Amino acid sequence: MSVTTTANPATYTLQSTLAEYGLHHSEEVPLDTSLNAHPSPSTPNAGNPATWPTDHRRVPAYRPVNRQLDQTTRRRYTSTPEQIFVGIMFTGVWVEGTYSWLWRKTLGKVHDVSYKIGGEW
């Protein structure tokens, strides 16, 4: 069987907790860098090879915002199933928001069913 205990904050100390687990702090030993020596590069900060691409990982060049863009010429969905899926999802979000608003304005004033989330007091 397991036993659950809680620490008393009035008598809690780091030493007592470490003693319970058999943990002990050791002396800090200076690091010996000769044990894992790495050879230094022949040319530090060498650049990329000349054959590497220089197009900055395909990031397009800056273009200013086109404020005269006609949105009716843009395609909104790639297929009918996508249009149906997105429509159902946003309709569900709208229904949940409307239901929440309606509850808060009517019966929510009499019977609060909210609950604490993530450590709220």
Provide Rg for the chain, Cα atoms.
32
The pLDDT of residue 92 = 94
Count of other CB atoms within 10 angstroms of residue 108: 14
User: What average pLDDT values come out for the chain (121 residues) when binned by 10 residues?
Assistant: 60 72 73 73 67 75 88 86 95 92 86 74 64
Tokens (6 digits) for 27: 């002396």
Q: What CA–CA distances, in Å, run from 30 to 25, 33, 42, 71?
A: 15, 9, 29, 66
| pTM for this entry | 0.35
The pLDDT of residue 93 = 92
Write phi, then psi, for 9 (nearest 5 degrees). -65, -20
